[in-house]
Every structure is written in structure tokens, then in C-alpha cells.
Structure 1
Amino acid sequence: MSDGATALKIRLRKALETARQARRVEERKLHAIRDGAQASLRDLSVQELMSLLEDEIIAWRAAAAEYDRLGYPEDARRLQAQAALVMSYLAD
């Protein structure tokens, strides 16, 4: 591998790690906000509740795809099943 390619790989790895760390920080913030909002779920409209459920489904499917990509098909199937269960609530 050339020196340029090696340097690029190093920069890309560092960028990926930085992006993952930033995502984890944002996920923790969002989790705290969601926890705080749990008490007010009873005040949400049907549309708002459906939108939140759709967001959860999207997140589960994205996580399932990542598990599958990383070679954890059982975990991917588990998350897909969870997404399907929540989808069944939206279908009623």
C-alpha cells in the first residue's frame, strides 16, 4: 500500500471514530429528552404517537441492517421482529 493510501486510511478511520463518538453523544442527549418526555405521552395526539412509533421502527430497522452487515443475523432478525410488532399497532 502506498504512503498516500495508508495516510488516507488513517484519516478515514479517525473521521469514522469521530463521527461515531459524536453520534453516541447525540443519541445520549436524545435518549435523555425522550425519557423526560415519557410523562407527557398521554397528551400527544394520535398523529404524534404514530410519528414517534414510525421513528422507532426506522431506528430498529437501521440497527438491524447494521447488525446484519456486521455478521450478527440473529440480532438483526430480533430487531426486525420488534419492528414488525410495532408495525402491527400502526396497522390496526
Structure 2
Amino acid sequence: MMLKQPSKRLSKQENENFREFLAETYPVCQICGWCRAVEAHHVVYGCYGANKDDRKQISVCRECHLWCHANKKESIEKFESLADENWKKYKISQH
């Protein structure tokens, strides 16, 4: 018997809460560490969002966000573990 994996997709409200947490907790881009973070980037997104994992997001500036999309494979390799840490910290903050 296979165990059901937790959903990769969050409810609209929980996704908004997570993004708010990222903006408050990481006001500076988590990639360059210099610019103001203005967006949340889905590190794991897939083709047209097919494999989108709302739990794997990082707080980024616009320039770094564009770099992530232009360098998708490298972005996943470099930042997936950071996104996992963000999710863990968010879940801890909810208790």
C-alpha cells in the first residue's frame, strides 16, 4: 500500500499566507542578498505549472526572478533546498 503524498498545491488562502510570511521574513532577495525582494518564485514549477509545488518558494527581486526563469535547471539545483527550509520555517511559525 502506497502512502498518499501531501499535496503540492496549497489552498489560495494558505498560499497567500505563505507568500506574506516570505515577504515579512525575507524582505531582501534570498538569491543576491542585496535588492529588495518584491516577488515569490516557485522553484519547482514544471511546464505551464503542471508540476507546480506551492511549498517550494523563495523571496526574490525582479532581476533574480528573471534569472531563475532563464536558468530553470540551475535554479532548481541551487535553490530547492532553500525553498524547503522556507516551508519548514513557515510551518513552525504556524504552531
> Same fold judged by TM-score > 0.5?
no
Return the TM-score normalized by structure 2. 0.34
Higher strand share: 2
Higher relative contact order (CA 8 A, sep 6+): 2
Return the TM-score normalized by structure 1. 0.35
Higher helix share: 1
